[in-house]
Structure 1
């Protein structure tokens, strides 16, 4: 079985010209033109022949082709109908032996509720930067079969996702991602591997699934507390959470100093607080 041919600068520009594309910032359309980068992403993700991979925003297929070199199956979610229609033909032309293991879903990843095929085991994607965190959290929630993932996001967002309590960049993305997974930074990606080049740096985030906290409180209630705690992050929790009816007694019952700030709390602390409120 022959390996897929990957997309380089000439192939990307050829496809863009053929489709008369005008890459939009709104959809985060910055196409990877460096085969070494997509192979690095796939290598860092650790996916193999037993994996069913979900990819979001495949675009012209740069990362898709690299995933098909090693993964058992790839399902790509693409919101742009022009790109979604062209992608199967690109796979058939450059990876004919793997075409049967590929499927594209024309959908908005933020709103997708079901996906075809067997339960996915990994998420590997160059996520659209303007919606990267909501997409990641939605798919982690929707697809509990996901064991791990590697996503490329804006460098600043990568720092936030992987931040620990007490860090200056620790915030809502850090806490909510920790409900679903253990997250770490997995490297940086330069701007010159994209066309058109973005005006921000990129970073890789690797995560492994972990069981959500054991609690009878709905996740939405816990996340409501998280949002409020960081809406005015310089405020002590007794003030930041007052609008939700949280009292100093609630905080004390949860073992939390009322004068502390949200940036010092782990996801387990927010769960305890939600339980104390009842």
Structure 2
């Protein structure tokens, strides 16, 4: 197998007439050491079906294919989606039958779209487009219950927010919603020079390990509605921030007290289990 180096990436891009776009968050990894590190840290198993979002020109795809049963690559760009199987056939023909390319928007795919002869995806390993990283992670963990975890590369600031703990200044909606699905932690930094074009931000790896959501009578949608309301005005106390959600500040206070939470508290100090309890006590 031959990984893609900087010269290979540029030759491929020229061949395709490709000009990376900010709209699609296209920054291609050109460093073989980085993709090998991602695969090593992700710890995929030989029987895993890897879900890769935004494979681009195939740098990470080529490193993943020899290690797993199958890679399901979701690519929104039609030119890249068409080229990826060709690149794999040329550079790693012995693994070509392990690749499934899904030309689609990762925010709209269903588990049916992603299910292969080897089964549905079991692990997410991806260099995610910066502009949609959080919604993509949340959508895929909701849509694909068989995902046991994953390792994603995202903008460093997004990595910090996803992995933030209650009480932190950067703890917010991404942190709480991600924790509904998984234990989340930072798994190392990634420098700018490993990308083409070079982004003007640093990147980071985030590891996710699936866990059961907190036991609650409320639905996920109901819990997420409380989270959205609590952080829409994060400087306000929960009594004030949840007034619209509950119908009034008095109703919000009743729900908070019933959930065992101080109405004068702020959302940034609550766990996802706390928000689940609040959702259970919303007045009819």
Place the TM-score, normalised by the shorter chain, in its bin.
Answer: over 0.9
Query: Using the alignment, how far apart are the partners of 2:200 and 2:145 within structure 1?
Result: 34
| Match in the other structure for 1:176 | 177
Cα RMSD after superposing both structures? 0.8
Whole-angstrom CA distance in 2 between matches of 1:20 and 1:133: 30
Offset at 1:72? 1.5
Q: Which residue of 2 aligns with 1:263?
A: 268
Aligned residue in 1 for 2:45: 48
Aligned to 2:13: 16
**Structure-1 residue corresponding to 2:115:** 116
CA shift at 1:249, angstroms?
Answer: 1.5
Q: TM-score, normalised by structure 1?
A: 0.97
Q: What SS class does the counterpart of residue 166 from structure 2 fall into?
A: coil
- 2: CA distance, partners of 1:251 / 1:260: 10
**TM-superposed deviation, 1:250:** 1.1
4+ residue runs over 3 A deviation: none
Instruction: State the shift of 1:216 in Å.
Output: 2.3
Equivalent residue pairs, number: 275
CA–CA distance in structure 1, aligned partners of residues 235 and 217 of structure 2: 30
Report the Cα distance in structure 2 between the residues aligned to 1:195 and 1:119, rounded to whole angstroms.
Answer: 31
2:19 and 2:7 map into 1 onto residues whose CA distance is: 17
**Cα distance, 1:162 vs structure 2:** 0.4
Secondary structure of residue in 2 paired with 1:174: helix
Corresponding residue for 1:197? 198
Deviation per residue, 1:199-235 (Å, 9 max, x gap): 1110100010001222221111110110111111111
Partner of 1:84: 81
What does residue 139 of structure 2 align with? 138
Extract unaligned runs of 5+ from structure 2.
Answer: none
State whether structure 2 residue 223 is matched by structure 1 residue 218.
Answer: no
Shift of 1:119: 1.7
Contact 2:115 2:121 in 1 (8 A): no
Please give the alpha-carbon distance, in whole angstroms, between the structure 2 residues aligned to 1:119 and 1:83: 23
Distance 2:45 2:93 in 1: 19
Q: Supply the distance in 2 between the matched residues of 1:231 and 1:201 (Cα, whole angstroms).
A: 27
The answer to whether structure 1 residue 232 and structure 2 residue 233 are counterparts is: yes
Distance in 1, Cα, partners of 2:93 & 2:252: 62
The TM-score, its normalising length taken from structure 2, stands at 0.95
Q: CA deviation at 1:198?
A: 0.7
2:95 matched to which residue of 1?
A: 98
Residue of structure 1 in register with 2:209 after alignment: 208
Which ranges in structure 1 are unaligned for 5 or more consecutive residues?
A: none
Task: Report the equivalent of 2:71.
Answer: 74
User: 1:147 offset after TM fit, Å?
Assistant: 0.6
1:69 positional shift: 2.4
Aligned mates of 1:180, 1:250 — CA distance in 2: 24
